[in-house]
Structure 1
Amino acid sequence: QREPLHEGACACLSAVVVKRMDAAAKLEHLRSLRVVELLAAAKDVMGASGIDMSEAFAGLAAATSLELLDCWDRLATRGEDAAAETAARALRNSMPLLLHAFASEDLEVSMCTMAFLHAYLGRLRKLQSTPERLALHEDQLQSLLFHLARRSVYPEDFTSFDYTSSSGMIGGLATSAGIGGRDGTGGGDPDDDDAAFVDYRREMSTLFRSVARVHPALASSFVQSTLRSMLESIESSQWSHVEVALWLLYQLGEGLPDGIVREKDGIFEQMMLALLASPAASHPHHAVVMLFFEIVVRYYRFFLQQPAALPDALRAFLDERGIRSRHAGLRSRSCALLLRFVKQTLKAPTMALVEAAAQILEVLSAQPRLSSRSDSNGGGARDSASVHGVGGSGAGGSARKCPRLGEAEQLFLYETCGVLLGSGLASDDCAAAKLEELLSLPIGELQMLSEAGAPSGADATFLEARASEIAHRISV
């Protein structure tokens, strides 16, 4: 009700709190002010009155915690263990308020805590050699993980997905904060809100990976519990909650030491097996399916250790969940990821890779040829309408419907098929026959372009366009 007075008081207290002095004197200064108790009491009053935490108040809480952290670090460095423990205890007492600010639905309020949280996790890394001291902070880390996961959930109405790269799908989805919807700031440009949350979720991923490095067992247990809960109730859970469980799994592998990720029969392997056994790859929301593919490709070494799991993963790529999907963005990204996945898993002892080449050839053979297109440039490459297989080629001339692919998508599949046929997995005769069939498609189009006569009245512009088209097809 008195916003200028409130902000002024917070600014005044912040100046008192951050006053530079010796660590021991600063700790006594903060204790005499009883600032932690004061802020906790104020937070309770605001909560009882239905008043949202302000950015100024969150900034004061973060500044106080950061000063306590600095005292703890400096005192510990000087070997003043008793005083350092006092500072660490005061810091732990300040964490509930700090995490309350972090969990705020207001994006700007939550962002006030980031500098402290990064510094806090950096300080905890120094405790890894003394597990008993690190254990004193497990409750705070557990709460941080919970709020971090919650703040990374997308609203149900979010649609602006970026399928152009892994960073786009994993950390660059544009949205606004909160499980229940937008952050309520109002009055801003939705694009600006989306861009702000892109940066915010990247902060979330950095924080989570830091927690995983500080306490791998705690982070792994949290992710396993969250993933199990979501996969067991996947059909009744909101897509955004399922997505964030998969996002946590992806981020966990990024943060854990490489030895834990590759550990035979370890917790990460258990989670990958649970994911592959679940219906996540068939989820009705494309964001969940796309993240499934990103995880599969990112942690391909799992399939080298567990080759029996490879056929199911390949099937997901090759059917209506992946390169045959009617969703243009999902289909396009799947074509690119399939190429990476095939290159990474060629050493796996399985014939599923050879079978994959036949299915890819079927999709390529089903693409409309030059004579059936509306123009010589292959118009409609972005059209997601289905076309039927042209029969007699691919996997027995199957009549399965295949979506029309763009040029870039077809190039990914041509390269994938070439990698598979040249890998030595198939017999020489089989590889030669499939390779001849594969090359007959672009060669046939080049012949048609080269032999087709110019229509009457064609001018130099038409001939230049025809020559440019031929040159382009030769180059790719």
Structure 2
Amino acid sequence: MDEQALLGLNPNADARYRQRAMAYFEQLKESQDAWEVCAEALAKGIYNDDHVKFFCFQVLEHQIKFRHAGLSAPQQQLIRECLMKWLQCQLISPQPEKSFIRNKAAQVLALTFVMEYLTLWPKFFFDILSLVGSNPHGVDIYLRTLMAIDAEVVDRDIMHSPEETRRNTLIKDSMREQCIPHLVESWFQILQTYQQSHPELTCLCLEVVGAYVSWIDLNLIANDRFVNLLLSQMSMDELREEACDCLFEIVNKGMDPVDKTKLVESLCQVLQTAGFFNVDQEEDVDFLAKFSRLINGMGLSLVQSWTKLAKAGSVKEATDTLQALEAKVPLLLQLLVHEDDDISANMVGFCYDYLHVLKQLPQLTDQQKTNIEALMLAVMKKLTYDDEYNFENEGEDEAMFVEYRKQLKMLLDRLAQVSPELLLEAVRRVFTNTMQNWQSSPFMEVEVAIRLVYMLGEALPASHGAHFSGDTAKTNALQDMMRTLVSCGVSSYQHSSVALEFFETVVRYDKFFLVEPQHIPNVLMAFLDQRGLRHNSPKVRSRVAYLFSRFIKTLHKHMNAFIEDILTRIQDLLALAPPENGFPALLTSDDQLFMFETAGILIVNGESPVERKQAMMRSLLTPLMEAFGLLLAKLLQETEEESQVALADLLSHAVGFASRTSKAFSNKQTVKQCGCTEVYRDCLQTFLPALSCPVQKGVLRSSVRSFLHRMIICLEEEVLPFVPSASEHMLKDCEAKDLQEFIPLISQITAKFKRHVSPFLQQIFMPLVLAIFEVLARPAEDNDQTAALEKQMLRRSYFSFIQTVTGSGMNEVMANQGAENIEQVVFTIIQGAVDFPDPIAQKTCFIILSKLVELWGGKDCMVGFPDFIYKNIVPACFMAPLKQTFDLSDAQTVLTLSECAVTLKMIHLKRGPEFIQFLQQEYLPSLQVSPEISQELCHVLQEPDVKVLKTYLKAFFQQARL
């Protein structure tokens, strides 16, 4: 072997040697017989270096995996002999190989087994077992090989081809017939022999049994001697977890429901007798995690059996199984309330499915009701935070608890389905007791009590969605709890989790305040003072900003008396720049967006006269405009990039805040009706100069463009005078992304104002089109994926824009661009339909072509357009679908073909028999289409229903491309 190349196998070797080793590996893989050197090196134990041994196994693995069928019989024999010789060496070696080498060897043995067991090596297991005997090193390789065979043949997580699946089924069938009883016997002997001396081997063997039990005869394992051995190992510290896992796999095996119930019951009886059900006395949480998984598996198996038996109408057997199931509930509860969340979480599946069983029963017994109440209390207890939860800096443990809480919420929802009355009563009891003593209760108890009320909102059936109408019992209970929540003073509790839960619950049940509006002032104060928006936790302040906007949206009709007071109190929270006093701002700019929206809603929806609304909106927006003017001037002077970025961000926020206030307007309360047109026009006047700012263009243009979008909706025609100058600025020095984002703005204006903007559109049309052409024509690196994607998106936006113009009934916009310009534009549409493999853009192009034919292709046609139809549009309808890139199995492409059919139909509608004649006599013969097919196509084209043509064209092009 190339000793120099082998040096590169060492992880610490330099890059040159490592590259040489890689090249050598590829050379050995591709060679017909060079791998034999590796096989021999392993068989004779020539190398001591672990990396070289691993390398040899890798070369061998490649041969077996990819070239086995091409090897000669002697070569296949050589592989078998070398592997057995290597195994023989392990038996006499004082030290076992490193674990990673043993795993790789097992993998290679397993691959050889898969390739040869059915044909060349039926005695595979007997050969290995007779060779290794009771040698621990040999037994270790044997067990690892079994696990590797499981991965190759059985593991359901690995995708197999149909051929591999057939082969694997044959292998399993042959193993069941020929050797499984012998293998099971070997496992029993290993488990018995090594449990004291080599616990690691015993654990590996237990893993093997667990893996194989799913597809072998269960009676070979689920018998007295095996189960007794497993139970004895459940009491051995080093083996108990693996023994538990093994029992779990046995219980999980698919089988007849009656037999499954018997198996579970017999195992339970033995485990109970052996004292394993005394969970409180067990201190080993790792073992209990495994044990809880086993009990969960048993519970789920019983539920499954009950479901099958109940469906089959086997009343007695179903009753017996239900009894067996109910007998496990005390153990389920013990494990569910265990202080370790992993142990508890393992029981959620069993608990959930047990409740599903109860839900299906016609009537609940007293014992079942007691079980439900016990489960409720268990869930409530487990929902509680522990002392160590870090609210200010949540890490992995906290994230895991949040996930676990979601599982508990599922249980609570299921409990509500089984017995809403019991759940409501249990929550009410816990909540009332806690709220009576909230001052002296630990935060976690107070938080969970409020949390439970919050969770009822989703847990109670949807028919009580309003929560404060309908079912009197529920309504009264919830109303009582909400009244207590907002009046008992708990909003002053100092812990952030309680504060958050208070506000979340108030907003979830905001309809309560429609029924009892007298509580609104108290809750408003909580939102506005140190309990909410001025809380010492940034997390609370941030969430409350959002919740406050939700609260105001729902209850704005009840806010009239408080509007001015609220606006005064939140004034400092609406400041654009952070305070100069060195303290950080109370809210982030994202939170401030909600505050501006809230202020807008209060002003717009209040009952003040128009003049007052106008004054309030002006006093809300004027500070933003003033600050904007100063900051823009400062930005133009600034040379430091970091400061430029900070200033541009502030400018962008100012525009965003003003934009957000406009969300308060509606069809009932328009900008005009509220007297706010002028102030928003002033905003436009203030913000538009930022479009010509030479620094931080991207940020500024993006925010002003978004504001224009909002103003087109809110200001109606009042926005139009600002559009030409804004467009002119946005078309200067633009990139693909700028244009792509500018086009929707023009499309929005076109679609909304139509004829009003026709003169402007005629004026801007070619400058915009030429700007797009210029950007698309810019050279880019071949492998620049970002640039390619940006161009593709721009192309789509361009076609979208043309579609909007042609579809808005403004024929004159394009018609008045001059013949040369029109031709240039229409050619790009033809190009988009045919040349670019982008079905979304192609579909748009065919829609445009169809529209142009409709506009210009009839009797009063544009000069020269019929000629253009025949020379360009008709060929496009055939050339595009004939391209290999036109994938007719893709849904988007099929939609493109539909539009192509619509275009052809439109040409026929406008040009009539002349078009049919052109197809039959000139165009289709040029494509070598037979006269019969031509006639057929033309016949379908004349059918009144376009669907017939769509279906026909798909078949036509599929056939044409064969």
TM-score range, shorter chain: 0.7 to 0.9
Q: Is 1:383 paired with 2:584?
A: yes
- Counterpart of 2:404, as a letter, is Y
Q: Which residue of 2 aligns with 1:85?
A: 319
Q: Is 1:446 paired with 2:628?
A: yes
Q: Which residue of 2 aligns with 1:284?
A: 494
Provide, for residues 328-355 of structure 1, a one-character-per-residue CA deviation record: whole Å limited to 9, x for no partner: 22122111111111112224xx3x4541
How big is the shift at 1:57?
1.7
Q: Is 1:39 paired with 2:272?
A: yes
2:389 is aligned, of 158, 161, 167, to 158
* Higher-helix-fraction structure: 2
Q: Which residue of 1 aligns with 2:592?
A: 410
Segment drifting more, 87-96 vs 51-60:
51-60
How big is the shift at 1:103?
1.8
Cα distance change on mapping 1:369 and 1:296 into 2, 3 Å: closer
Q: 1 CA distance for matches of 2:331 and 2:644?
A: 72
Query: How many aligned positions are there?
Result: 415
How big is the shift at 1:113?
1.4
Q: Is 1:245 paired with 2:478?
A: no
Q: 1 CA distance for matches of 2:644 and 2:267?
A: 84
Cα distance change on mapping 1:5 and 1:324 into 2, 3 Å: closer
Q: Which residue of 1 aligns with 2:520?
A: 310
How big is the shift at 1:434?
2.2
Cα distance change on mapping 1:96 and 1:412 into 2, 3 Å: same
Provide, for residues 166-225 of structure 1, a one-character-per-residue CA deviation record: whole Å limited to 9, x for no partner: xxxxxxxx5xxxxxxxxxxxxxxxx33233222212111221122112211111111111
Q: Is 1:133 paired with 2:337?
A: no
Question: SS state of the match for residue 317, structure 2?
Answer: helix
How big is the shift at 1:61?
1.5
Q: 2 CA distance for matches of 1:451 and 1:372?
A: 20
1:175-254 → structure 2 map (5 Å cutoff)? 191-254=395-458
How big is the shift at 1:439?
2.0
Q: Which residue of 2 aligns with 1:167?
A: none
How big is the shift at 1:51?
5.8
How big is the shift at 1:105?
2.2
How big is the shift at 1:239?
0.4
Q: Is 1:122 paired with 2:356?
A: yes
Q: Which residue of 1 aligns with 2:468?
A: 262
Unaligned residue ranges in structure 2 (runs of 5+): 1-234, 658-962
TM-score scaled to structure 1, two decimals? Answer: 0.78
Cα distance change on mapping 1:49 and 1:333 into 2, 3 Å: closer
Q: Is 1:108 paired with 2:342?
A: yes
Q: 1 CA distance for matches of 2:635 and 2:538?
A: 35
Structure number with bigger Rg = 2
Cα distance change on mapping 1:109 and 1:27 into 2, 3 Å: same
TM-score scaled to structure 2, two decimals? Answer: 0.40
1:7-86 → structure 2 map (5 Å cutoff)? 7-31=241-265, 33=266, 35-36=268-269, 38-39=271-272, 42-43=275-276, 45=278, 47-48=280-281, 54-86=288-320
- Counterpart of 1:303, as a letter, is F
1:152–1:244 contact (8 Å) kept in structure 2: yes
How big is the shift at 1:427?
3.5
Q: Which residue of 2 aligns with 1:6?
A: 240
Q: Which residue of 1 aligns with 2:608?
A: 426
Cα distance change on mapping 1:101 and 1:444 into 2, 3 Å: same
Cα distance change on mapping 1:18 and 1:304 into 2, 3 Å: same
Cα distance change on mapping 1:40 and 1:66 into 2, 3 Å: farther
Segment drifting more, 363-372 vs 85-94:
363-372
Root-mean-square deviation (CA, aligned residues, Å) is 3.1
- Counterpart of 1:446, as a letter, is F
1:36–1:94 contact (8 Å) kept in structure 2: no
Cα distance change on mapping 1:366 and 1:292 into 2, 3 Å: closer
Cα distance change on mapping 1:122 and 1:236 into 2, 3 Å: same
1:102–1:110 contact (8 Å) kept in structure 2: yes
Q: 2 CA distance for matches of 1:262 and 1:36?
A: 50
Segment drifting more, 38-47 vs 411-420:
38-47
Q: Which residue of 1 aligns with 2:155?
A: none
Q: Which residue of 2 aligns with 1:394?
A: none
- Counterpart of 2:525, as a letter, is R
1:354–1:425 contact (8 Å) kept in structure 2: no
Q: 2 CA distance for matches of 1:454 and 1:22?
A: 80
Segment drifting more, 1-10 vs 64-73:
1-10
Cα distance change on mapping 1:69 and 1:321 into 2, 3 Å: same
Q: 2 CA distance for matches of 1:371 and 1:108?
A: 45
- Counterpart of 1:383, as a letter, is P
Q: 2 CA distance for matches of 1:8 and 1:274?
A: 52
Provide, for residues 285-321 of structure 1, a one-character-per-residue CA deviation record: whole Å limited to 9, x for no partner: 1210111101111122222233223222222112221
Cα distance change on mapping 1:8 and 1:408 into 2, 3 Å: closer
Q: 1 CA distance for matches of 2:245 and 2:315?
A: 32
Provide, for residues 106-127 of structure 1, a one-character-per-residue CA deviation record: whole Å limited to 9, x for no partner: 2322222122222222333323
1:346 is aligned, of 552, 556, 563, to 556
Cα distance change on mapping 1:56 and 1:365 into 2, 3 Å: closer
Segment drifting more, 44-53 vs 245-254:
44-53
- Counterpart of 2:458, as a letter, is E
- Counterpart of 1:362, as a letter, is R
Q: Which residue of 2 aligns with 1:377?
A: none
- Counterpart of 1:267, as a letter, is A
Segment drifting more, 92-101 vs 20-29:
20-29
Segment drifting more, 428-437 vs 332-341:
428-437
Q: Is 1:300 paired with 2:510?
A: yes
Q: Which residue of 2 aligns with 1:337?
A: 547
Question: SS state of the match for residue 605, structure 2?
Answer: coil
Q: Which residue of 2 aligns with 1:396?
A: none
1:36–1:93 contact (8 Å) kept in structure 2: no
Segment drifting more, 135-144 vs 58-67:
135-144
- Counterpart of 1:262, as a letter, is F
How big is the shift at 1:40?
7.2
Q: 2 CA distance for matches of 1:112 and 1:372?
A: 51
Q: Which residue of 2 aligns with 1:178?
A: none
Q: 2 CA distance for matches of 1:272 and 1:301?
A: 11
How big is the shift at 1:236?
0.7
Q: 1 CA distance for matches of 2:578 and 2:304?
A: 72
Q: 1 CA distance for matches of 2:575 and 2:278?
A: 68
- Counterpart of 2:292, as a letter, is A
Q: Which residue of 2 aligns with 1:359?
A: 566
Q: 1 CA distance for matches of 2:656 and 2:369?
A: 58
Q: 1 CA distance for matches of 2:242 and 2:653?
A: 66
| Identity fraction in percent | 27
